[in-house]
Structure 1
Amino acid sequence: MRHTGRATVERPAAADGKEIRAVNYELPGAQWFKSSHSGTANECVEVAWLGDTNVGVRDSKHAAGPALVFRRTDWAAFTTWLGKGGATSA
């Protein structure tokens, strides 16, 4: 399922010792989708490809709320880590 909408994004700088700051901007053309791994439960995130360099992530229960924006390379590293069992449920 795809959703369109607007989300205010708080975008911190990379966690590599640089100053962290929030930048708010709108994502009016974002095409949001849920992972095929998401079940029927409401514990999901939605993802949107934002151009060639960024990925938006938001809570599916709060579609009009804030979203996080990551560089595609960072998102790819994160999802690869998850796929290798990098996170477990407690």
Structure 2
Amino acid sequence: MERETLPQDEERLWRKLWDLWQEADEEDVIIDSSKREEIEEEIPSLESRVRTSLAFLQRTRYIQYRSGFSDGAIEPILYDVLEPED
């Protein structure tokens, strides 16, 4: 199945998520408020849009994530990232 082309911001986010997931040895990565802030610093155009972009990446089948609790708040937990094809 061929995946649709991503907008530039989501492409950068997807590659960032791939790196995070690889650094965690493909274990769950919690995208909590501190991780979102880190992503927003690296990709400023995603400020206040990280959750929306995560939902877009899931809908277009580039990532899979579930919601879970982290410090009493519901946070997205990344559990699979499709490998970038360079």
Structure of larger gyration radius: 1
Q: Would you say same fold, with TM above 0.5?
A: no
Counting strand residues as a fraction of each chain, which structure ranks higher?
1
Q: TM-score, normalised by structure 2?
A: 0.22
Give the TM-score taking structure 1 as reference length.
0.22
